Structures are given as C-alpha cells and as structure tokens.
Amino acid sequence: MARRPLIAANWKMHKTQQEAKTFVASFLPKIAAVRDRDVLICPPAPLIFAVDQARKDSPILLGAQNMYFEEKGAFTGEVSPGMLKDLHCEFVILGHSERRWVFGETDELINKKVQAAIKAGLIPILCVGEKLEEREKNLTEQVILNQMDLGVKGVADTVIGTMVIAYEPVWAIGTGRNASAKDAHDAIALIREFIHSRYGSSSAEKIRILYGGSVKPENMATYMKEEGIDGGLVGGASLDPESFAKLVTY
C-alpha cells in the first residue's frame, strides 16, 4: 500500500494573526502544483481561525498543537476537542516532547488526549522519542516502545491506522542536530513493527509515521528516501513560507 506523504508545520509559539495570514498568502502559490502529498499547518490556538480563513479553497490541512481531554468544564486556559472541531481542525499534535518535558505531561494524560481526539473526530499525531541521556544509555527502543504502548492504549483496531505517529528524538529538536537517516529509519521501523504486532499488518501498512527533529529543506529528501518514513513534522523550518515550500516540494 502506498501511503500518502504528510508534511506538517508545527509553528509552536510564533506569529501574530497578520503574520499567519501573510504566510499562507505567500505559501499557497509556491505549492500550487503539489498534488501527491498532504500539507498540514498547526498554528498556535489563537491563530487557528486566521489560518482557516486564509487557507479557504486550498488543499492545506489544519491542525492544533495540543488540547485537553475533557469536552468542557473548569479547566482554565485549556482548549477542548469540540472547540478544535468547531474551528475546522482536522488534526491535533499530542505528546510533543515540549509538552512532555517542559509541561510535565505523562503518557497516561497523553493517552486520554489521544482517545478524546479520536472520539471527537480529530486525527491525533502522537509524538514519541527519546532524550539524549536515554539514547546514550541504549534505551532508545525501550523508551519508544513504552511511549507507544501507553500512548495508544485502548485505541481500537478499526481506528489505529488513521492515526499519525511522529518520531521526534528530543535531542534533535531545535538543536540543529538531526538524527541520521538510518537513526530515523530504524526508529520508525520499530514503531511500525509495534503496530504490526499489536494491530496486524493492515494497520501497520496504513498508519503514517513521520520524522521530526531539525528537519530542513536540505535534508528532507534524504529522510523521504528511507523506506517507511511517510513525511515530516517540521518546527523552525516551517516558519518561513519559502523554506516550508521547499520542504514540501522536496
């Protein structure tokens, strides 16, 4: 089965409404000829509406960077799955390393978010990956498998193939250090084998697995040549329309 590549922009905490609109206006003509891959933008929550308006009648997909697992209630500062659906989001990034290590999110909390996203009709992009000290102690496989095991707990066989997984080694995010193509290939093969063993070959063939971690226009093609890598979760290089267009058209 040929999986459709997905190139996702994670803008993190950047841009104003006007900057977001200007980005999309500049970006769209640069990818007008792209037909064989999905392009996703995940802006900060206050900019979701502006990006949705700016992307009208274009193939750009829209996602959020995070959400809470409850639909409503006394959760000051949080955003619910229903709110994201109401804003026309199709995807949501969950378990990003910054949510795990800066904000202290646990695998159990991330799993609740994954299940809530699926229930709301959002496609979760579940992020997994090891820290530098874990890699140096040869714990990469153990960490990834544990995060996968807890992250997809309770997700049904009928749904898992529609999810997206992003392998993002923590030591390569925003550091300028990127994992080698072999590092990325091996980790993503491990994730796909986990899905195969837990959910069967059909789900393993269907699920898209991305690489994230200092992805740039200069190295995107190298990753995409590797078997099993279905796209990229892009941080800093997605903030400039020229740079992100080059990445999308690798």
Give tens-digit pLDDT for 181-206: 999 999 999 999 999 999 999 999 99
Give the strand pairing for 231-234 and 164-167: unpaired
DSSP string for residues in 29-78:
HHTTT--SSEEEEE--GGGHHHHHHHTTTSS-EEEES---SSSSSS-TT-
Clarify whether 96 is annotated catalytic. Answer: yes
Instruction: Say if 39 falls within a structural domain.
Output: yes
Residue with tokens 């792209």: 34
Structural domain of 122 = 6-68+79-248
Q: Can you give the pLDDT at residue 119?
A: 98
**Residue range 95-110, pLDDT digits in tens:** 999 999 999 999 999 9
Q: Is the pLDDT of residue 35 over 70?
A: yes
Instruction: Say if 41 falls within a structural domain.
Output: yes
**How far apart are the C-alpha atoms of 72 and 34, rounded to whole Å?**
38
Q: Is the pLDDT of residue 167 over 70?
A: yes
Q: Can you give the pLDDT at residue 178?
A: 72
Nearest alpha carbon to residue 125 among 90, 101, 83? 90
Instruction: Say if 49 falls within a structural domain.
Output: yes
**How far apart are the C-alpha atoms of 68 and 117, rounded to whole Å?**
9
Average pLDDT over residues 19-48: 98
Instruction: Say if 129 falls within a structural domain.
Output: yes
Residue 96 near residue 123 (C-beta atoms within 8 A): no
Clarify whether 168 is annotated catalytic. Answer: yes
Residue 56 near residue 24 (C-beta atoms within 8 A): no
Q: Is the pLDDT of residue 10 over 80?
A: yes
Residue 107 near residue 150 (C-beta atoms within 8 A): yes
Residue with tokens 């959020």: 64
Q: Can you give the pLDDT at residue 173?
A: 76
Q: What is the largest CA-CA distance in the chain?
A: 49
Average pLDDT over residues 225-244: 97
Number of domains in the chain: 1
Q: Can you give the pLDDT at residue 171?
A: 85
Instruction: Say if 125 falls within a structural domain.
Output: yes
**How far apart are the C-alpha atoms of 23 and 157, rounded to whole Å?**
38
Instruction: Say if 1 falls within a structural domain.
Output: no
pLDDT grade for 74, boundaries at 50, 70 and 90: very high
| CATH assignment of the domain containing 143 | 3.20.20.70
Which helix H or strand E contains 6, and what residues bound it? strand 6-10
Which of these is catalytic: 19, 96, 196, 227? 96
pTM of the full structure: 0.97
Average pLDDT over residues 40-45: 98
> How high does pLDDT run on average in the chain?
96
pLDDT above 90 as % of the chain: 94
**How far apart are the C-alpha atoms of 76 and 70, rounded to whole Å?**
12
Average pLDDT over residues 211-230: 95
Average pLDDT over residues 110-124: 98
Which helix H or strand E contains 210, and what residues bound it? strand 208-212
Nearest alpha carbon to residue 175 among 135, 230, 126? 135
Tokens of 241: 């329309």
Instruction: Say if 197 falls within a structural domain.
Output: yes
Q: Is the pLDDT of residue 67 over 70?
A: yes
Which of these is catalytic: 98, 105, 130, 168? 168
Q: Can you give the pLDDT at residue 2?
A: 86
Q: Is the pLDDT of residue 211 over 80?
A: yes
Q: Is the pLDDT of residue 176 over 80?
A: no
Instruction: Say if 73 falls within a structural domain.
Output: no
Q: Can you give the pLDDT at residue 1?
A: 64
